[in-house]
Structures are given as C-alpha cells and as structure tokens.
C-alpha cells in the first residue's frame, strides 16, 4: 500500500530537490507544510515516504555505470554513451554533464535533502522524545546510505557533505572526510534508536526491520560495510555482531527497495524483458567463461540469448536474469554480503580457518564444493584467499554496483585484473571514479 503512493508523495516533495549547482532557487509548494517551523507528524511522514521513494530513483544508472567500468556488464540500448564513454573509448574521457554523472548525483542529494528536512523539523514537532529520536535515527541512517552511494561513484573526487542549507552549500570534501561523516551519522543514528519509537510508515521492503531494534540491525550492517571499505576490519566485525548477520540464515535476508506496477509508482529498471533487442543488459563474456563449474549464480542471474548480440564493437552471448520482473525488489544490503564481509575481515585479521568456513557458506549455497575439497591448496594462503573472496563477491553481487568498488579497494581496477573485450580501432580506458558534475566545478 505504501509503495502505491510513493510517487504521489514524491511529486508533492518535488520542491525539495537539491540542485546539483551551488545555488538553488526558492520554490514554494502550498500543498506541503513540511518546511514550516513546526511540522506535523503527517508532514514528517510525507518526508519519510519521500526518502524511501527517491532512494530508488536512477539506482539502475548507479549499478550499470559502475558495472560497465568494471567490465562485468554492458548496457545495449539507444544511448551510445553506455558502450563508448563508459568503456573509455572517447578521447575526452567521462563527461561531467552526462546522465551517468548527473542522474545519480542529483537523486541522491534530493533524498539527502528530505533527510535533512526531517532532521530540521522533528525537534520542533509535537512529538514525544522517543518519537523524535525515531525520526532522527531513520534520517541519519538513510542519509549515510545516500552519501555512501555518492562517494562510491566519486571516490577521490569527493562529495559535498554540508548541504543542509541549499543557499549556502559547503565545499566538496575528500573521500576520507566523507567516510568519517558517514560513520558518524550511522553511529549517531544507532545511539538514538535506543529508546526510540517509530510512528512513520516503512515500505514492505523493511519488513522485519521496521522497529527501532531491527532497524538498528540494518544500521549496523551498513556500518560494517563502511568499516570494511575503510579497512577497519576489527570494527567491521564488531558491527556485524550487532547486525542481522547470521551464517545459518537465508542469504537473501535484509531490507530492500520495493517497486510496483501501479500507475504512480516506478519500476525496477534493472529488469529487462528476456531476449529483447535494443534495451538489454548484456553479460561480459568473461563472467561466464571465468565461472567455476557448477556455480548456480551464473544460471540464476544470466541466460543465453537466442542470438548473440553486439554494439559498438562489444558482443555478448548472455543477458541479465537478475530480476524476474519489473516489480522485483532490490537489496539494500543482505545477509550474503554480511557473511562475505565476515570472511574478508577474518582473512585480513589472519583468521584463515574461520574465513574458509565463511566462504564455504556462500560457495555451498551456490552449488560449489567446500574449499578443502575443491581448492585445498589455498586454504592456508592469505593472498589466495583474498582472490577467492573477491571472486565470490564477483559472482554474488553481479550487476549490483559492487565489483568496481571491490577492485578499487584492492588496487585492481586496472587492465591487469579487468579483462577488456577488444574493440577494433579503439583504445579503452578503465575508469576508477566519476567526475564531479559540471555544475559543481
């Protein structure tokens, strides 16, 4: 029910868009009192709905753009920039005013703007202290998540962190500063969840994570991801213990972004109709060729096309089957990732036997044998276990925007580790980050 009204709420909240430029024009929407000095609970709830709605906007561009620069997929559609710019065949490099640069940037900051309005408005609303804590914890957690997606794209180019006042935006700050702010937001939100009360609507995607306690487990899962990205492995393990990490539970467990086919909602644009031409996510051939025999993730996430397809000198025999329909949910973070975070931390902390146990959970779920049987030579070798861990992440998170980040974390987002499909007459560049939008320079 909530998702059927999300886009309606998003339209109501359209005035909240944080422009990508350094200034924003004043806009007044008399239908929404959410910017008043004393917002009502209904006003705040509209903003909560707007956060959940807009966090989905252009997520498909985020995932496919990162997937393309990591050469795990290609988007064959009417826009040639997907198979020229993103694979580095254009002499000018990535365009700072193109959709792959601006779309995700703008929507992430629009969502952050809604979070900021919740944080500004909740203290002045007629609410109990427990309810105010609930709104604040939700907003800080979701704001941290959106900042994380932004810095995943921008990397060393940095992002804006101080955007609470659209007329007085703060400077572009470094990757290190961004991670510090993200971690701070998550920790503050988690602290506020103690004794908090939720009186706002969450979508069905948060089923099982819709109370302060269970939402806290989601918060700690994000904190573990952030700590991993920062190389803080002991911290990540601590956060995992407070999250919904469960090596005995369903790998798909976790909160999700949900979509519906209702007229006022948006669809999961990472779903593609099988066998269609002209608009398809094509699997990099090496994802198929490099797979370990029997890996069910290949057959569950991809399918052979009736006829191979080609565009801009690229070609592929397989296409996506990652999502069964246009209303399929998209994971925000799931137990499978937490298990692999656990494995990575164990490797980095020299707990190799325990890491093998964690990796085996994911391997066996994918129809593969235990490492002690299939790859006994690597179980006591830290470097080889890192390779194995990255390979499991490659197949577990195909087309989810994680491959480029993983390779970059290990200084492998380069032609030594990324297999480039040759394009006749074109030199390719492997990009490691996206430029700041032109309006930010």
Copy the structure tokens of residue 103.
Answer: 């779309």
If 0-12 CB within 10 Å is exposed, 13-18 middle and 19+ buried, where does residue 186 land?
buried
Q: What torsion do the CA atoms of 51, 55, 56, 58 make, to the nearest 10 degrees?
A: 130
Tell me, what's the pLDDT at 35? 55
Tell me, what's the pLDDT at 439? 93
d(CA 114, CA 261): 24
Which long-range CB contacts under 8 A does 210-213 form with residues at least 24 apart? 212/134, 212/137
d(CA 159, CA 138): 22
> Is the CA virtual torsion 398, 399, 400, 406 positive or negative?
positive
What are the DSSP E strand ranges found in 203-300? 256-257, 280-283
Chain-centroid distance, C-alpha 149: 6
Copy the structure tokens of residue 423.
Answer: 């394009």
For residue 281, what are the β-bridge partners? 75
Helix then strand then coil, % of the chain, to nearest 5? 50, 10, 45
Contacts (Cβ under 8 Å, ≥6 apart) of 49? 2, 5, 6, 9, 10, 201
Neighbours of 256 (CB within 10 A): 19
d(CA 22, CA 406): 31
Copy the structure tokens of residue 226.
Answer: 């952030």
What are the start and end residues of each CATH 1.25.40.390 domain in the chain?
Answer: 2-21+37-261+331-416
Residue 125, classed as helix, strand or coil, is coil
Please identify which residue in the block is written with the tokens 């994911």.
Answer: 362
Answer whether 43's CB lies under 8 Å from 32's CB. yes
d(CA 221, CA 159): 23
If 0-12 CB within 10 Å is exposed, 13-18 middle and 19+ buried, where does residue 213 land?
exposed
Residue-wise pLDDT tens digits, 253-273: 999 999 999 878 999 999 999
**Which runs of consecutive H residues, i.e. helices, occur in 155-211?**
175-193
pLDDT in tens, the chain (441 residues): 455 444 444 433 433 333 333 332 333 333 333 457 799 999 999 999 999 999 999 999 999 999 999 999 999 999 999 999 999 999 999 999 999 999 999 999 999 999 999 999 999 999 999 999 999 999 999 999 999 999 999 999 999 999 999 899 999 999 999 999 999 999 999 999 999 999 999 999 999 999 999 999 999 999 999 999 999 999 999 999 999 999 999 999 999 999 999 878 999 999 999 999 889 999 999 999 999 999 999 999 999 999 999 999 999 999 999 999 999 999 999 999 999 999 999 999 999 999 999 999 999 999 999 999 999 999 999 999 999 999 999 999 999 999 999 999 999 999 999 988 888 888 999 999 999 999 997
Whether domain 2-21+37-261+331-416 has CATH 1.25.40.390: the reply is yes
Q: What are phi and psi of 74, to 5 degrees?
A: -135, 145
- Of 193, 252, 257, the closest CA to residue 60 belongs to 257
Count H helices and E strands in the chain, helices first.
15, 8
Question: What percent of the chain clears pLDDT 70, i.e. is strictly above it?
Answer: 92
Question: What is the Cα gyration radius of the chain?
Answer: 22
Tell me, what's the pLDDT at 255? 98
- Of 330, 119, 141, the closest CA to residue 217 belongs to 141
Copy the structure tokens of residue 371.
Answer: 């490492």
């Amino acid at each position: 029910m909530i998702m059927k009204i999300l886009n309606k709420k998003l339209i109501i909240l359209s005035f909240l868009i944080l422009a990508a430029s350094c200034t924003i024009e004043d806009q007044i929407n008399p239908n929404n009192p959410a910017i008043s000095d004393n917002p009502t609970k209904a006003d705040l709830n509209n903003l909560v709905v707007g956060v959940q709605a807009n966090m989905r906007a252009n997520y498909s561009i985020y995932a496919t753009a990162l997937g393309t620069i990591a050469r795990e997929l290609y988007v064959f559609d009417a826009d040639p920039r997907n198979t020229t710019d993103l694979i580095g065949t254009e002499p000018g490099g990535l365009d700072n005013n193109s959709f792959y640069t601006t779309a995700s940037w703008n929507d992430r900051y629009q969502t952050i703007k809604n979070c900021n309005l919740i944080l500004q408005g909740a203290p002045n609303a007629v609410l109990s202290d427990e309810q105010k804590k609930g709104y604040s914890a939700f907003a800080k957690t979701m704001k941290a998540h959106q900042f994380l997606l932004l810095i995943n794209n921008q990397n060393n180019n940095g992002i804006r962190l101080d955007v609470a006042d659209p007329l007085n935006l703060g400077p572009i700050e470094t990757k290190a500063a961004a991670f510090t702010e993200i971690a701070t937001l998550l920790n503050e939100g988690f602290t506020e969840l103690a004794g908090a009360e939720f009186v706002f609507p969450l979508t069905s995607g948060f089923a099982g994570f819709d109370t302060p306690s269970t939402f806290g487990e989601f918060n700690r899962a994000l904190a573990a991801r952030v700590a991993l990205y920062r190389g803080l492995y002991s911290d990540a393990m601590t956060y995992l213990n407070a999250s919904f990490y469960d090596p005995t539970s369903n790998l798909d467990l976790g909160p999700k972004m949900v979509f519906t086919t209702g007229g006022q909602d948006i669809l999961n644009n990472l779903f593609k109709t099988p066998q269609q031409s002209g608009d398809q996510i094509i699997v990099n051939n090496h994802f198929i060729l490099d797979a370990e025999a029997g890996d069910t993730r290949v057959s569950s996430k991809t399918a052979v096309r009736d006829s191979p397809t080609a565009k801009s000198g690229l070609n592929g025999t397989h296409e996506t089957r990652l999502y069964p329909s246009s209303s399929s949910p998209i994971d925000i973070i799931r137990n499978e990732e937490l298990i692999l975070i656990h494995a990575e931390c164990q490797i980095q902390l020299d707990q190799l036997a325990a890491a093998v146990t964690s990796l085996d959970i994911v391997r066996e779920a994918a129809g593969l044998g235990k490492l002690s049987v299939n790859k006994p030579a690597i179980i006591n070798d830290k470097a080889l276990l890192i390779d194995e861990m990255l390979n499991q992440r490659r197949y577990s998170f195909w087309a989810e925007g994680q491959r480029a980040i993983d390779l970059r974390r290990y200084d492998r987002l380069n032609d030594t580790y990324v297999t480039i499909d040759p394009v006749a007459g074109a030199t390719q560049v492997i990009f490691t980050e996206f430029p700041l939008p032109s309006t930010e320079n």
